[in-house]
Amino acid sequence: MSRRQFAAPTRGGSEPPDDTGCTVLHVDMDAFYASASLISRPELRGRPVIIGGAGGRSVVLSATYEARAFGVASAMPMARARRLCPQAVVIEPDHRRYAAISEAVMATFATITDSVEPLSLDEAFLDVSGAVRRLGPPTQIAEQLRDTIADEQGITCSVGVASTKFVAKLASTLAKPDGLIVVPREEVVSFLHQLPVGAIWGVGDKTEEHLHRLGLRTVADLAHTPLETLQRALGDVAGRSLHDLAWGRDPRSVVPERREKSIGADETFAHDIDDPVRIHRELLRLADRTAARARSAGMTGRTVSIKVRFSDFTTITRAKTLRHHTDVSRDIFATARELYDRLGLQRARIRLVGVRLEGLVPSAVAPIQATLDEPEHGWREADRAVDRASARFGAGSVRPASLMPDRPSGSQRERRDLS
């Protein structure tokens, strides 16, 4: 979803929304790192506060909504954030506190349902279909969660209640901060069609500009464009995905995942770098290695995450859950690069990058699904040919063309991590 904020669509009628069948909840903490940091600094509530290192080369980890109103955003260089909001108070991150609060929030989710799919430290999908008889309708469960988290953790959250994951996540975003939006099943299409195309999950700045050039400015415009036209303009997979989402179609279910069940690799550089070309190249190498390790272990994953550590040791992570499980190097790299590019970093000095494949299941349990634009002999077959060559001639004997030259001298060490 684009970083831009969108207003919630107006809803006709004065009756409370019917939440029958709306058993998917997306719960997202509001400005999590900032809110958690202010627990011990209550005098700063209501003021612009930035979380991050105080050094000139530091980056923003998070900011309160008062600071965001001045244009401050996560991953922004601290120097720029201070120029945008010179009156802001800067607080050093407290990662132990964040982890403890996240663990407590996830434990609260577990008291509601076993079907919890964490997306990061501060957000998760919940399927509450099995809890309705015990705890009441979905809206009541959502309100209970919000009250419990506020009372026990001292932070607020926003909740989207819907019949699909896509609409629930969109609703929670529109409800921020400290809000709740229910989207009845019968109102999904009217809800979506009032929104600009940039609100659709997966439409970033570049895709939004492309859609605008096509004359598509609202989700309704997108929905009423012939599928074939969208596929010619955006590609088979992206065109079909956006067309389905514009009509509220999202067949994905909430899949409980243990986030520690993952395969990945990190790279720490000898010298901080700010060249996006080099970072893209490193992401490719790490994605290639992560995919090979997944295939070797006979596992596939559905969530790709990246880790970026800056020169001041501030660390951020971003993740994206795919529609299908994968162990394909190309898929993992494309997602990792998308996540990195969405950060919008402007020559920030980077110390470490990492790529991780999460939500692992055995390959036999979740067979890989081919994409519409995949050639007859697809990328999985190519990856397996590389695996066979590596087994015979040694690791690294076959690699992507862009990795054939010597690795940059800035690369110091790479850590294998399989948990």
Q: Tell me the catalytic residues.
A: 123
Q: Residues annotated as binding site for Mg(2+)?
A: 28, 122
In contact, 142 and 159? CB cutoff 8 Å: yes
In contact, 303 and 255? CB cutoff 8 Å: no
- 125 membership: H or E segment, kind and range: strand 123-127
Going by C-alpha positions, the residue among 336, 329, 333, 332 that lies closest to residue 381 is 329
In contact, 176 and 28? CB cutoff 8 Å: yes
Q: Are strands 24-29 and 123-127 parallel, antiparallel or unpaired?
A: antiparallel
Q: Which residue has the tokens 């079907």?
A: 115
- 210 membership: H or E segment, kind and range: helix 205-213
In contact, 62 and 33? CB cutoff 8 Å: yes
The separation between CA 251 and the C-alpha centre of its own chain, rounded to angstroms, equals 19
Alpha-carbon gap, residue 69 to 64, rounded angstroms = 9
In contact, 175 and 159? CB cutoff 8 Å: yes
Pair of tokens at residue 290? 């992560």
